[in-house]
Amino acid sequence: MKKWWKTGLSIFVVFIMLLAVTACGKDEVKTLKVAEVTRSIFYAPEYVALEKGFFEEEGLKVELTTTWGGDKTMTTLLSDGADIALVGSETSIYVYAQGSDDPVINFAQLTQTDGTFLVSREKIENFSWDMLKGSTFLGQRKGGMPQMVGEFVLKKHGIDPQNDLTLIQNVDFANIPNAFASGTGDFVQLFEPTASVFEKEGKGHIVASFGTESGHVPYTTFMAKESFMKENEESIEKFTRAIKKAQDWVANNSAADIAKVIQPYFEDTELDLIATVVDRYKSQGSFATDPILDEAEWQNLHDIMDEAGELPQAVGHDVLVNTSIAKKVSNE
């Protein structure tokens, strides 16, 4: 009788331990809600992290939502509809300037150049920027990073956007390609894959890259509210580590292989076109090779915003950027 009791007790103890281990395993999986500003091949490393299971390796479950626009993305983050936002760093400056007592902190950089290209209506063999003088230029929405970078680059090449050409900025982002296709403008500033599609269909010709011309800038970064980062430091570190794994994978694999991995996020885009766009971004260094947003990039962002008259106030790198986690995972 005593032997049976001991055996039963042992089985019961083992059962309880198994339940505890199972429960701990479940608790280790942390769900993070991520809001991306748009769906873009420009964000290839993010989709690689999802498809290659890098978040799962870190014990994270990422729920990705596309919020279509900087304002909507930041509103979603501030209202706790998302834990993390992927959006331009300028939005964190706008929020800070409004007097937020819980500032939004940039903690992991994904892209490090502008993602737009200058497309001409006519084919130009030997393009030079002064060809834009006297032309009609269909630019991006005023106040957004594409527009600010566009004007910054024009001024860099001695072109006054307000006086040396006819600048159109009153067309909604989604309608800019259609406006150009229907005959508006001699030049247009377009994102991929639209720029490559236009070139393929003969509707336009890529003649220059705004990303190459403007230099490194924190164009798209992962950010979170300061309070969330303090309460979830371990999860933020795991998230950043997964992004670094994806950045390494993108750096070490071909555009064709990257395209195959991220194709599920662009089902309406042909695989060879995805590869073309990835190769274009990769060759000009648009994908950040590590998640560290350095001071030089932050200062370049300030200069671009200031030149466009859109900088509400200067904000130090140490105020809205946390590089400690990015540096830690980059040095592992």
pLDDT digits (tens, 9 = 90+) for 15-68: 444 444 444 444 579 999 999 999 999 999 999 999 999 999 999 999 999 999
- Examine the domain organization and report whether 83 and 158 are in the same domain: no
What is the pLDDT at residue 174? 85
- Examine the domain organization and report whether 226 and 193 are in the same domain: no
- Examine the domain organization and report whether 280 and 310 are in the same domain: yes
* β-pair partners for 208: 118
Select the more confidently predicted residue: 6 or 166. Answer: 166
Q: Which residue has the tokens 């300037």?
A: 97
Decide if pLDDT at 12 tops 80: no
- Examine the domain organization and report whether 174 and 235 are in the same domain: no
Counted domains in the chain? 2
Select the more confidently predicted residue: 103 or 10. Answer: 103
What is the pLDDT at residue 86? 98
| 82 part of a folded domain | yes
* Structural domain ending residue among the three candidates 214, 242, 273: 214
Give the closest residue to 312 by CA, choosing from 93, 89, 101, 88: 93
What is the pLDDT at residue 26? 44
- Examine the domain organization and report whether 254 and 276 are in the same domain: yes
What is the pLDDT at residue 28? 75
Q: What percent of the chain has pLDDT over 70?
A: 92
- Examine the domain organization and report whether 66 and 109 are in the same domain: yes
- Examine the domain organization and report whether 166 and 300 are in the same domain: no
What is the pLDDT at residue 27? 52
Averaged pLDDT for residues 282-309 = 96
Contact 91, 318 (CB under 8 A): no
Split at pLDDT 50, 70, 90, the class of 172 is confident
Decide if pLDDT at 76 tops 60: yes
- Measured distance CA(327)–CA(332) in Å, rounded: 9
Q: What is the CATH number of the domain that holds 154?
A: 3.40.190.10
What is the pLDDT at residue 227? 98
Q: Among 8-12, 86-90, 95-99, 291-295, where is mean pLDDT lowest?
A: 8-12
| 84 part of a folded domain | yes
Averaged pLDDT for residues 286-295 = 98
- Examine the domain organization and report whether 194 and 222 are in the same domain: no
Q: Among 4-8, 185-189, 222-226, 271-275, where is mean pLDDT lowest?
A: 4-8
- Examine the domain organization and report whether 230 and 324 are in the same domain: yes
- Examine the domain organization and report whether 105 and 229 are in the same domain: yes
- Examine the domain organization and report whether 142 and 274 are in the same domain: no
Strands 220-225 and 136-138: unpaired
Residue 166 Cα to chain centre, angstroms: 30
Range of the domain at 300: 30-113+217-330
| 1 part of a folded domain | no
- Measured distance CA(101)–CA(227) in Å, rounded: 10
- Contacts by residues 272-279 (CB-CB < 8 Å, ≥ 24 positions apart): 273/193, 273/196, 273/197, 273/200, 274/41, 274/193, 276/193, 276/196, 277/41, 277/192, 277/193, 277/196, 278/41, 278/44, 279/255
Contact 83, 224 (CB under 8 A): yes
* Structural domain ending residue among the three candidates 178, 199, 214: 214
Contact 32, 83 (CB under 8 A): yes
Averaged pLDDT for residues 223-230 = 98
- Measured distance CA(321)–CA(170) in Å, rounded: 32
* Structural domain ending residue among the three candidates 214, 236, 260: 214
pLDDT in tens, 119-146: 999 999 999 999 999 999 999 988 788 9
Which DSSP state fits 89? T
